[in-house]
Chains A and B, each alone.
Chain A
Amino acid sequence: MSSIYGFFTGSHSPSISLIKDGKISFCIEEERLTRIKSGDNYDINCELSCIEAENFTGLKIIDADYRIFANPTPDVFARRITNNNYEKVSHHTAHAYGAYYTSGMEGKTITITYDGGGESTVMKVYLCEDGKMNLIQSHPLSSFGSLSHVWGFSTSSMRGYDQNGEGIWKMCKDEGKLMGMGPNGYYDETIYKMLSTVINYKDFRFYPSGSSSKTMFLGDMMKSHGYFNTQENMEVFSFNLQKLTEDLFLNFIDDLHNLYPDYKQLCFAGGLFANVKLNQKINELNWVDEIYIYPPMGDEGLSLGACIYKAVELGEITKPFELNDMYFGKSYTNDEVSQVSKNYNLKRTKYNSKDIAEYINQGGIVGWFQSGSEFGPRSLGARSILVRPTDISTHKILNKRLNRYDTMPFAPIVLDDKFDSIFTPVKSKYTSEFMTLCYNTNEEWIDKIPAVIQKSDKTARPQIVNKDKTPKFWEILNEYYLISGIPLLLNTSFNSHNQPIIENPEQAFESLKLGVIDKLIIEDYVYFT
């Protein structure tokens, strides 16, 4: 069995991953260490991540059995850190291998990757079965349009540009704001048709090519004509962009289904599938049995995808497996945390789940720091902020403390055995352990948990918490349920607006000192001022 370091670097979202003996050992995205969001920091390498990986795992990059880069690869950097001993794998191949082999799916499965372009491709489609992947479609960027480009350039056009020509909202970073405000808008035939002039779909082709520049031109012209001057218009634009995206992509999915009617399981990776509303629509298709979205669906997940590709090639991974969690970053012992805490003059008590659940029930805002940091864009119970889901006024408090826009809905965690009674449709529950798609909320729950439901369309993006996989996270949630009768908590990422999710205890303690959270649970202790 082998040790394999995987890399993605030289663009947005650089990261490093390590697989040892067929098991995921370590993953981290560079933004967690630079403390600058990937969308604000292009064309950097994963320098700090390499150091972190070597220090934490004790395995030097040059001592690993294999080193593999997901393309596009900056060879100067790759040569330097590997002593010129490395391999490469195609961008979308790395996306696809990451998705399929972590899906746990048995039987016939279609794997689809889609993003703004890696090397020369925007999309690949594979037929998969019993651990084998067969490429059936590859869509070159040169001759296909990209929905991801339309989202990216719409995002940067909407709020205009700063003095340096940078979008005030940035692509690869702020698309979620459009997705978040979309449900507050409404269908407008004119806007829908205008967007259709930059991207459309027919017979397996997204067209026209060059959708990036066309979208930028359209968006900039709409901006200069004053269209985006009102919140209502921004919401209408976002609604119609979302609708067009869903309409076109669902047409594509249906066309695939007509060709391959026996394939009813779908795996996805690539930046487009950060769109949890699109994922919801796919999941709601009647013929779909189950979908899975690779948790680090954007380019940050390529380093792990590259590792998996190599492990499959070596025969060390042969079938899709299920992820237990995404806690692949650096973890800290109680002693290490205790040492750090001495610099902050904080009080400390032993952690007791009942006490903390009661504190949350009374309105406390709690920082939750456990094990290794999550790999991917979501806080999934390693670097989270937990709040009661029952009080809508929580939004104002959280947004003020975290300096966030109020267009972004907050998401819940839910006990695994209670999911079916709260959300529909009841399928694709494995992928919902990683908070990657939205569900409709059952009528009787809407008024009970207003803080975690999108106010217009009443959907939510739940994370299912499983007792066997993440027992400590499950325990605090279950204690809250026993106290309140509500089997959900609001779980938001442990970061202020425009910052990456926190990585280490120092950053958690800083948040506590600044009053972002009321109490902080790190491993087995509760810290407070």
Chain B
Amino acid sequence: MFISLNEERIVLHFNPSPFLKISGPDELYYVELREYPKNDDQSLYVEGRKIIGNGGVFEIPIEFYFDFEISVSKYVPKYGLKKIFTHRFNDYGKQVLFNLDTKNYDECLIWLTKVEEYSRINGCKPHINTHFDDINKKHLSYYQVDGVDYYKTYNIGRHPKSSTDWRTIDPRKEGVIWYGNWKTFWSYQHPRLWSNLTSEEIIDDILAL
């Protein structure tokens, strides 16, 4: 997704995690990813924040669904911080890719059903990619290859935590990825430990169904 403001140009997508690149006249910009708690109309929780330079990239490697908002602020002399861009995640009417990363045929079918449920609830246009050609070919999106601009990519599967994440190296925090000092995730793809979850629970967790 490409957004043009007065003087700034922004590239934004969620494939698979929030990604924002900004170009503009200012030396630095402040980017923040915030979460809306359930039943709250204010985005209270800060999930990630970064000061980036002109042409810089903001990327937070959370892949599963949560209700969040990304914003960009700049410094305006004699005013302070001015919010110049804000976008709340909403895939209604947008193309969303679901990679169903399982070699179990039955599980793949379960996940496919869940993807359809998610698409119905959120109104997105799903694209499916599985390890099984017959499933892929049954889906209409298989034949849509031109003009595809995914708004969001979901990787559905059982993904271990990143081996290079410094947050997991400390033995005090072994097995846990810390975010913002108050939340723990078991990997960037999962909101909780995936190893003992059922097929349904895996995809329900990731898509917040």
Contacts and interface: CB of A to CB of B under 8 A. Distances in A.
Interface of A: 74-76, 117, 119-120, 140-143, 190, 193-198, 209-210, 213-214, 216-218, 220-222, 224-225
A196 B46 CA distance: 18
B29 to A, nearest CB: 9
Contacts of A195: 80
B166 interface: no
B36 to A, nearest CB: 11
Nearest to B27: A224
Interface in B152-209: 171-172, 180-183
A194 B81 CA distance: 7
B51 A213 contact: yes
B150 interface: no
Interface in B28-46: 28, 30, 32, 34, 37, 44-46
Given A217-B75, A224-B27, A142 B172 contact: no
Contacts of A222: 75
Contacts of B51: 213, 216-217, 220
A193 B80 contact: yes
A209 B44 contact: yes
B147 interface: no
A266 B24 CA distance: 50
B30 A214 contact: yes
A210 B34 CA distance: 9
A193 B80 CA distance: 8
Contacts of B73: 214, 217
Contact of B44 (A143, A190, A220): A143
A117 B182 CA distance: 10
A198 B28 contact: no
Nearest to B47: A142
A209 B47 CA distance: 10
Given A120-B182, A210-B46, A74 B172 contact: yes
B171 A76 contact: yes
A194 B28 CA distance: 17
A221 B181 contact: no
Contacts of B114: none
B25 interface: no
Interface string B116-130: 000000000000000
Contacts of B49: 210, 213-214
A106 to B, nearest CB: 36
B181 A120 contact: yes
A218 B44 contact: no
Contacts, number: 74
A46 B140 CA distance: 64
A218 B80 contact: yes
A209 B45 contact: yes
A198 B37 CA distance: 21
A222 B172 CA distance: 38
Contacts of A196: 80
B2 interface: no
B172 A198 contact: no
B128 to A, nearest CB: 35
B30 A142 contact: no
Nearest to B74: A221
A217 B30 contact: yes
Contacts of A225: 75, 77
- 10 smallest CB-CB distances across A and B, nearest first, come from A194-B80, A221-B75, A143-B44, A197-B80, A210-B46, A120-B182, A213-B49, A217-B30, A142-B182, A197-B81
A403 B78 CA distance: 35
B79 interface: yes
12 contacts: A119-B181, A140-B182, A142-B182, A142-B183, A194-B78, A209-B45, A210-B34, A214-B30, A216-B51, A217-B51, A217-B81, A224-B28
Interface in B64-118: 73, 75, 77-81
> Could you tell me the dominant secondary structure of chain A's interface residues?
helix
A481 B205 CA distance: 74
B46 A209 contact: yes
Contact of A198 (B79, B80, B182): B80
A195 B46 CA distance: 19
A190 B78 contact: yes
B10 to A, nearest CB: 18
Nearest to A196: B80
B45 A76 contact: no
Nearest to A222: B75
A26 B78 CA distance: 51
Q: Which of A117, A214, A218 has the most CB of B within 10 A?
A: A214
A142 B32 CA distance: 13
A117 B32 CA distance: 19
A195 B78 CA distance: 11
A213 B32 contact: yes
A21 B64 CA distance: 53
Contacts of A74: 172
Given A194-B80, A222-B75, 18 more contacts: A120-B181, A120-B182, A140-B182, A142-B45, A142-B46, A142-B182, A142-B183, A143-B45, A193-B79, A193-B80, A196-B80, A197-B79, A198-B80, A209-B34, A213-B50, A217-B81, A218-B81, A220-B51
A95 B112 CA distance: 52
Nearest to A145: B46
A197 B79 CA distance: 9
A210 to B, nearest CB: 4
A142 B44 contact: yes
Q: Which of B37, B45, B73, B75 has the most CB of A within 10 A?
A: B75
Nearest to A140: B182
Contacts of A141: 180-182
Contacts of B50: 213
A190 B34 CA distance: 27
